[in-house]
Amino acid sequence: MATRTMQAARCPTDELSLTNCAVVSEKDLQSGQHVTVRTTPTHKFVFTVKGHHSVLPGTIAFSLPQRKWAGLSIGQEIEVSNYNFDKSRQCIGAMTIEIDFLQKKSTDSSPYDSDKMAAEFIQHFNNQSFSVGQQLVFSFCDKLFGLLIKDIEAMDSSILKGEPASGKKQKIEVGLLVGNSQVIFEKSESSSLTLVGKAKTKEARQTIINPDWNFEKMGIGGLDKEFSDIFRRAFASRVFPPDIVEQMGCKHVKGILLFGPPGCGKTLMARQIGKMLNAREPKIVNGPEILNKYVGESEANIRKLFADAEEEQKRLGANSGLHIIIFDELDAICKQRGTGASSTGVHDTVVNQLLSKIDGVEQLNNILVIGMTNRPDLIDEALMRPGRFEVKMEIGLPDEKGRVQILNIHTAKMREFKLLASDVDVKELAAETKNYSGAELEGLVRAAQSTAMNRHIKATSTVEVDMERAEKLQVTRTDFMASLNNDIKPAFGTNQEDYSSYIMNGIIKWGDPVTRVLEDGELLVQQTKNSDRTPLVSVLLEGPPHSGKTALAAKISEDSQFPFIKICSPDKMIGHSEISKCQAIKKIFDDAYKSQLSCVVVDDIERLLDYVPIGPRFSNLVLQALLVLLKKTPPHGRKLLIIGTTSRKDVLQEMEMLDAFSTTIHVQNISSGDHLVEALELLGSFTDAERTTIAQHVKGKRVWIGIKKLLMLIEMSLQMDQEYRVSKFLSLLKDEGADRGFFE
């Protein structure tokens, strides 16, 4: 609009005078526009206008504080022209306001929360213009306050672009109030008003909504990437001024689903999101708490959670603050509909209620629902679509850099009070703790502390602390290593005892065949690590019974140094039904997919399949499950090596299972006298003389014996008296090969 002359008038209602807007006829100007009012050639003031039917065209109505500020009299002719804000330079970053009771007779001594006051102020006057020296009236807790704008600082424009704050502070005369401006209240000198809360002091609130915020200060380590992803998807739109968001037609993200293994910081992260944002204290709800045995109560509990947000949206519309609702253990209440066995169908109605609240017909735009679960597969699909829990973020096991951060957080206090010995190297601990979750790393620090404290307790009949030595208490590297080896084991890691029992007697390299198997295994390990084209590598070690296949598979997996190594063995599944066996095998593979590099040894496949030659019989259910899992490519960014072992290659061939493996390696028995002598030498059980005698008997002969069987025969012979040992061993060896026509 071009400059036009209008007449100043009195504000028609008290209610309109509390809006801080100049009131105009809807025929002249639209609500929300900003105008410059020029009273004299040198004096001009910026107002935001509001349309109202009771104002005559050609007039512009002002409240008493506005007329005082601008020096206006009723009926005065003024020049009114459009005013456009430069969003990059004129958004208010921080505004200092002097506050006092409007009427001296209405003073009281009760404290007023300046934080709530600031939130209410921003909601009430969002997207309005403010100038230094401006006076206005503000209603809070049914009391009227007189305000005077003392000082305005511009928002750092780099924050709006999603860049780190530059730290430059720029004073401006006129600014636009936006959702994440900071409002600071200062009571006037003569006032008896009591203010409490943080909004009495200036703090850099803008930096809290900074993608490069340092989360280590908040006690979260190893999740920097996840945090910046969540910020980009869920909060970037909330940082921008609402009108820009509106012009883009952009809708805010209303739901985030955090999933991943237990102990990786999902709950911690959700709690800190509330602190990071300039929002109310989040409501934290445990899934099972919602459920109630009485009909309709569970749904009413869901409705109560959203009641505040609904009420505020009705009252303040687009200026409503953000309400965060956090659901812990979301799978407890949002299971797939139609799957519950109970006749009441209470789960289904709870899911329906939640769906309609988050994104129903009357949708709320001022909520952010954060759900957490370690079983995303159980959650109803309708909750996962865009508009509901559309940002799905896996909070996985921390990598080495993340583990350094987490250990630094948990040892910070000890370091501060000089209780951490200088030989403790956090980087070394991070390298040693592959596959540890955040909670397990915290447990490790606690275990090391208790080990250190234990050294300072006198071992007498009563438990006493040796005070002299306790003064010098320090947690050393030895304490951490002891806890690492004995106390805290990762749930998704390598169970050392698991495969050490398979390599009890070490690997006896009696000849080229053994060396070849280990070399081929090493090649496959390297392929899994380095190749991006083959994230899944599977190999089958097949050979006669007792040839040491399981030990070789365990050795290859141990040498791989992969963070996750699990042995899927039939001895763990004795007495399991077919279905529970399938579930146990699937769980091992699911756990493997959570780690960056994993190795799964599927031992004794024909035993897992319940195969017996009489009949012939086997479990088709387990066979199908294994066939699927052997071919299933791990998720993006994860790599998996599968090593299978079997003594019945022919059976697997018939079951069409051989094709599921990428490659097959044959493990053979000791088949020549020379190899047998080599094995005896490596085992070192017989004396040199005894070995020479055995060598003379077996030289040039064909033998056929597995390394495990050979060990058994040697140990049996060693129980005899010295002079009979060799003859006993040779006769046992002969018996072993007799039925096959060997040892001739």
pLDDT tens track for 408-437? 888 888 888 888 888 888 888 888 888 788
Domain match, 701 and 629 both: no
Give the span between the Cα atoms of 456 and 465, in whole angstroms: 6
Where does a domain end: 24, 49, 82? 82
708 is catalytic: yes
Do 501 and 670 touch, CB atoms closer than 8 A? Answer: no
- For residue 635, the 8-state DSSP code is P
- Residue 87 covered by a domain: no
604 is catalytic: yes
The pLDDT assigned to 211 comes to 45
Domain match, 540 and 628 both: yes
Do 506 and 555 touch, CB atoms closer than 8 A? Answer: no
Hey, how many other C-beta atoms are within 10 angstroms of the C-beta on 431?
A: 12
418 is catalytic: no
- Residue 186 covered by a domain: yes
Domain match, 381 and 422 both: no
The pLDDT assigned to 210 comes to 43
Q: Is 470 helix (H, G, I), strand (E, B) or coil?
A: helix
Domain match, 386 and 407 both: no
Q: Which of 227-241, 441-455, 529-543 has the weakest average pLDDT?
A: 227-241
CATH of the domain at 228: 3.40.50.300
Closest CA to 230 of 60, 392, 430: 392
The range of the structural domain enclosing residue 261 comes to 215-394
- Residue 203 covered by a domain: no
* pLDDT range class, residue 628, cuts 50, 70, 90: very high
* pLDDT range class, residue 198, cuts 50, 70, 90: low
The highest-confidence range among 169-173, 197-201, 218-222, 585-589, by mean pLDDT, is 585-589
Per-residue tokens: 540:
């089958």
- Cβ density class 583-598: b for 16+ within 10 Å, e for less: eebeebbebbebbbbb
CATH of the domain at 682: 1.10.8.60
The pLDDT assigned to 666 comes to 93
The mean of the pLDDT values for the chain is 82
458 is catalytic: no
- Residue 204 covered by a domain: no
105 is catalytic: no
The pLDDT assigned to 381 comes to 83
* pLDDT range class, residue 260, cuts 50, 70, 90: confident
- Residue 163 covered by a domain: yes
Domain match, 154 and 125 both: yes
Domain match, 48 and 121 both: no
Of 200, 529, 708, 728, catalytic: 708
DSSP 547-563: S-HHHHHHHHHHHHT-S
Domain match, 235 and 346 both: yes
Per-residue model confidence as pLDDT tens digits over 475-519: 888 888 888 877 777 777 666 556 677 777 788 888 888 999 999
pLDDT at residue 583 tops 50: yes
Closest CA to 568 of 659, 660, 623, 499: 499
The pLDDT assigned to 388 comes to 83
- Residue 229 covered by a domain: yes
Q: Which of 60-69, 119-128, 354-363, 699-708 has the weakest average pLDDT?
A: 354-363
- Residue 207 covered by a domain: no
- Residue 23 covered by a domain: yes
Where does a domain end: 487, 509, 531? 487
* pLDDT range class, residue 278, cuts 50, 70, 90: low
Q: How many helices (H) and strands (E) does the chain have?
A: 28, 28
Of 314, 631, 632, 699, catalytic: 631
If residue 693 lies in a helix (H) or strand (E), which one and from where to where?
Answer: helix 688-698
Domain match, 282 and 264 both: yes
Domain match, 578 and 622 both: yes
Domain match, 159 and 68 both: no
The pLDDT assigned to 526 comes to 93
Euclidean distance between the first and the last CA atom of the chain, given in angstroms as a whole number: 113
Give the span between the Cα atoms of 545 and 709, in whole angstroms: 9
pLDDT at residue 338 tops 90: no
Of 604, 639, 645, 646, catalytic: 604
Distance of CA 575 to CAs 138, 591, 605, 607, 612, Å? Answer: 74, 23, 16, 12, 16
**Number of compact structural domains in the chain:** 6
Do 407 and 430 touch, CB atoms closer than 8 A? Answer: yes
478 is catalytic: no
The pLDDT assigned to 718 comes to 87
Domain match, 622 and 716 both: no
The pLDDT assigned to 212 comes to 44
Domain match, 34 and 77 both: yes
Of 550, 591, 639, 645, catalytic: 550
Of 266, 335, 357, 549, catalytic: 549
Of 224, 603, 639, 709, catalytic: 603
Alpha helices (runs of H) in 164-283, residue ranges in sequence order = 205-208, 224-230, 236-239, 242-248, 266-276
